[in-house]
Amino acid sequence: MAFRCLPVLYRARVADNEHKPFRFGVNLMRFTTRDELVDRAREAERLGYDVVCVPDHLGVSAPFPALALAAQVTSRVRLGTFVLNAAFYNPVLLARDVASTDQLVDGRLDLGLGTGYVKEEFDAAGIPFPSPGARIDHLRHTIAELRRTFAELEPAPAQRPAPPLLLGGHGDRMLRLAAREADIVGFTGISFQPSGPVLADADELDERVEFVRKAAGERADELEYNLLVQRVVVTDDRRAALDDLAREFGEVSAEWLGRLPYLLVGTLDEIAEQLRAHRARYGISYFTVLDDGLADFAAVFERLR
């Protein structure tokens, strides 16, 4: 089936997802001290974010202590790992950390898991960097072990039987696993080619969402779909901003960048319309931004509420 036909078919297929409430998350990366994390978590809650997340990379703060601290200074937002590198953890010990953290944050934890993709981090940790397929196999094993351990663990997670699970990716095997196992499917829109990471365009996201829905079967309408936004640029001159991004990205046109779902560029009202269009077209209702867009994105989603 040609990609250009997919948006028409999608009107029926995303009908149940199209009107799901919006949710908005932020991935906190730019903090190095306790006070910076406290300030960022409080600001995110004050601005109306639904989820405050912390990534899992060497060179930044460990996720679980950061989330436990964020929970102490917030009362409403959910707290997520976006996402843990499963290869860094023994599944049984990870189950203990997840259960303990869920208790400490009063049942507000969302568990995001991934395969890990930065070879240099594996090298620094002294961990072999397997093939993509082997890393997905390990993630599948980790999910099974987490569920088995949660059923027997004391203290158990505050959320029973387990915190909501987010799995994100772009390739077939990862999205098939997410479709079958996750509560939240994250579309990262990045494929890793020998030449470097490549962002997917709108037609490719159509195909990826359709792939997940087919793999999920009867679960398709129960899933929540997440999009990781790579850049938020609020501007009164969308074309000039896209021209600037085209020069930054190199070898792509401003027109092509303007069609990427993972870039939100324009006035506050234009970006709000882009989010409405993404929910209508793809059934995606949960959007996560990086923390350099914290304030700008909050001004956008005020218009959606």
pLDDT category of residue 5 using cuts at 50, 70 and 90? very low
The answer, yes or no, to whether residue 1 has pLDDT greater than 50, is no
Report whether the peptide linkage leading into residue 155 is cis, meaning its omega lies within 30 degrees of zero: yes
- Give the pLDDT score at 193: 65
Report whether 299 contacts 268 (CB < 8 A). Answer: yes
Average pLDDT, rounded, for the chain: 92
By the 10 Å C-beta count (0-12 exposed, 13-18 middle, 19+ buried), 264 is classed as buried
Structure tokens of 250? Answer: 């190199």
Nearest Cα to Cα of residue 42 among 80, 64, 75, 81 = 75
Structure tokens of 214? Answer: 């087919």
Nearest Cα to Cα of residue 180 among 208, 156, 213 = 213
Report the Cα–Cα distance between both ends of the chain, in Å, rounded: 37
- Give the pLDDT score at 305: 82
Report whether the peptide linkage leading into residue 51 is cis, meaning its omega lies within 30 degrees of zero: no
Q: Which residues pair with 80 in a beta bridge?
A: 53, 110
- pLDDT tens per residue across span 103-141: 999 999 999 999 999 999 999 999 999 999 999 999 999
Report whether 156 contacts 165 (CB < 8 A). Answer: no
pLDDT category of residue 11 using cuts at 50, 70 and 90? very low
Sign of CA dihedral 267, 268, 273, 276: positive
Structural domains in the chain plus CATH codes:
3-231+284-304 (3.20.20.30)
The answer, yes or no, to whether residue 90 has pLDDT greater than 50, is yes
Q: Give mean pLDDT, residues 21-28.
A: 97
The answer, yes or no, to whether residue 253 has pLDDT greater than 80, is yes
Higher pLDDT, 192 or 261: 261
- Give the pLDDT score at 25: 98
- Give the pLDDT score at 16: 62
- Give the pLDDT score at 198: 76
Q: Give mean pLDDT, residues 188-199.
A: 73
Report whether 138 contacts 130 (CB < 8 A). Answer: yes
One-letter amino acid at 274 equals: Q
The answer, yes or no, to whether residue 8 has pLDDT greater than 70, is no
- Give the pLDDT score at 14: 53
One-letter amino acid at 3 equals: F
- Give the pLDDT score at 200: 86
In SS3 terms, the chain reads as CCHHHHHHHHHHHCHHHHCCCCEEEEECCCCCCHHHHHHHHHHHHHHCCCEEEECCCCCCCCHHHHHHHHHHCCCCCEEEECCEEHHHCCHHHHHHHHHHHHHHCCCCEEEEEECCCCHHHHHHHCCCCCCHHHHHHHHHHHHHHHHHHHHHCCCCCCCCCCCCEEEEECCHHHHHHHHHHCCEEEECCEEEECCEEEECCHHHHHHHHHHHHHHHHHHHHHCEEEEEECEEEECCCHHHHHHHHHHHHCCCCHHHHHCCCCEEEECHHHHHHHHHHHHHHHCCCEEEEEHHHHHHHHHHHHHHC
